[in-house]
């Protein structure tokens, strides 16, 4: 099966930003749920790798920003119940 | 010692798959079931009878904050941990208002989740100091 995930050699944190970028750029509503789950999973696994590292402040901040964006997409595009109400 | 039964509630199979072995490899816990959202957890809770439920915050159909009061109504003695990617004071405030007993950021899964689960099921408060 061909991998149609977009890649960008300029990504600073490619371990998760490839999947994250794919979710942000997905225009097919049928594919968006799986893109979002893949991005969430990549971020989760990366967070576990960073858990015991004293470094990675910039990446942690980038992950936090990314999670806000994914949360917005889940609520606005997929109709997840809004927990901030 | 009887193992404490754990219900994992998260819409992401990768997250459930990563968390499950943390509990299953621990001598005091066993995962009794999984659910993909809060509504499924509410439906499964009466038959699974978990001692502890690990709840995601943002899920389709029913999120963790809306599921928590319903789960407590079904199982008044159950312990609830909100396991969330969206941590912070506002999330903690909403979680405790919903009856949730502890909030663990997903970034702290390996280091804090089991310790918090042990503390709760032993009816102790765990001062993790991550906030």
- Asked if residue B79 lies in contact with residue B53, where contact means CB atoms within 8 angstroms, the answer is yes
Length of chain B: 131
Asked whether residue A65 is domain-assigned, the answer is: yes
Write down the pTM of the prediction.
0.89
Query: Is ipTM strictly over 0.90?
Result: no
Q: Do B86 and A43 touch (CB under 8 A)?
A: no
Give every residue of chain A whose pLDDT is below 50, as ranges. 1-2
Residue A74 has a CB neighbour count (10 Å cut-off) of 24
Roughly what angle, to the nearest 10 degrees, separates helices A57-76 and A14-25?
A: 20
- The reply to whether B14 touches chain A by the CB within 8 Å rule is yes
- Indicate the number of domains in chain A: 1
* A24-60 residues labelled b (16+ CB within 10 A) or e (exposed): bebeeeeebbebbbbbbbbbbbbbeebeeeeebeebe
- The reply to whether B86 touches chain A by the CB within 8 Å rule is yes
Asked whether residue A2 is domain-assigned, the answer is: no
Query: Rounded to a whole number, what is the distance in Å from the CA of B62 to chain A's nearest CA?
Result: 6
- Asked if residue A56 lies in contact with residue A15, where contact means CB atoms within 8 angstroms, the answer is no
Give every residue of chain B whose pLDDT is below 70, as ranges. 124-131
Asked whether residue A60 is domain-assigned, the answer is: yes
Q: Distance between CA B64 and CA B41 in Å, rounded?
A: 10
Q: Do A37 and B14 touch (CB under 8 A)?
A: yes
Q: What is the pLDDT of residue B34?
A: 98
Q: Class assignment of domain B4-121?
A: alpha beta
Give the helix/strand (H/E) hosting B30. strand B29-35
Give B-chain residues touching A41 at CB under 8 angstroms: 12, 14-15
- Collapsed DSSP state (helix, strand, coil) of residue A62: helix
Q: Distance between CA A24 and CA A35 in Å, rounded?
A: 8
Alpha carbon of B15 to those of A43, B23, B85, B124: distances in Å?
10, 13, 11, 26
Q: What is the pLDDT of residue B131?
A: 41
Q: Distance between CA A48 and CA B48 in Å, rounded?
A: 29
Give the helix/strand (H/E) hosting B89. helix B89-97
- Collapsed DSSP state (helix, strand, coil) of residue A83: coil
Across the interface, of B12, B94, B111, the residue whose CB is closest to A83 is B94
Asked whether residue A69 is domain-assigned, the answer is: yes
Q: What is the pLDDT of residue A3?
A: 53
Q: What is the pLDDT of residue B10?
A: 97
- The reply to whether A74 touches chain B by the CB within 8 Å rule is yes
Q: Do A44 and B94 touch (CB under 8 A)?
A: no
Asked whether residue A71 is domain-assigned, the answer is: yes
- The reply to whether B122 touches chain A by the CB within 8 Å rule is no
Q: What is the pLDDT of residue B125?
A: 52
Structural domain range at position A38: 16-22+34-47+56-79
Roughly what angle, to the nearest 10 degrees, separates helices B114-121 and B13-24?
A: 60
> Where in chain B are the domains?
4-121
Query: Rounded to a whole number, what is the distance in Å from the CA of A51 to chain B's nearest CA?
Result: 6
Q: What is the pLDDT of residue B123?
A: 75
- The reply to whether A9 touches chain B by the CB within 8 Å rule is no
């Amino acid at each position: 099966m061909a991998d149609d995930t977009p890649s960008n050699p300029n990504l600073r944190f490619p371990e998760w930003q490839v999947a994250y970028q794919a979710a942000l750029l997905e225009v097919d509503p049928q594919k968006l749920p799986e893109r979002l789950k893949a991005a969430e999973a990549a971020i989760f696994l990366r967070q576990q790798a960073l858990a015991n590292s004293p470094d990675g402040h910039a990446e942690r901040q980038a992950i936090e920003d990314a999670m806000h964006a994914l949360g917005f997409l889940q609520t606005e595009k997929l109709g997840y119940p809004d927990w901030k109400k | 010692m009887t193992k404490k039964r754990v219900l994992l509630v998260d819409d992401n199979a990768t997250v459930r798959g990563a968390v499950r072995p943390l509990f299953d490899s621990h001598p005091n816990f066993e995962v009794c079931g999984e659910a993909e959202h809060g509504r499924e957890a509410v439906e499964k809770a009466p038959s699974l009878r978990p001692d502890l439920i690990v709840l995601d915050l943002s899920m389709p159909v029913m999120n963790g904050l809306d599921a928590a009061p319903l789960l407590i109504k079904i199982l008044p003695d159950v312990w609830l941990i909100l396991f969330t990617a969206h941590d912070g004071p506002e999330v903690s405030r909403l979680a405790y208002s919903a009856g949730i007993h502890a909030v663990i950021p997903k970034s702290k899964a390996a280091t804090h989740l089991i310790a918090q689960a042990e503390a709760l099921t032993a009816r102790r408060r765990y001062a993790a100091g991550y906030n």
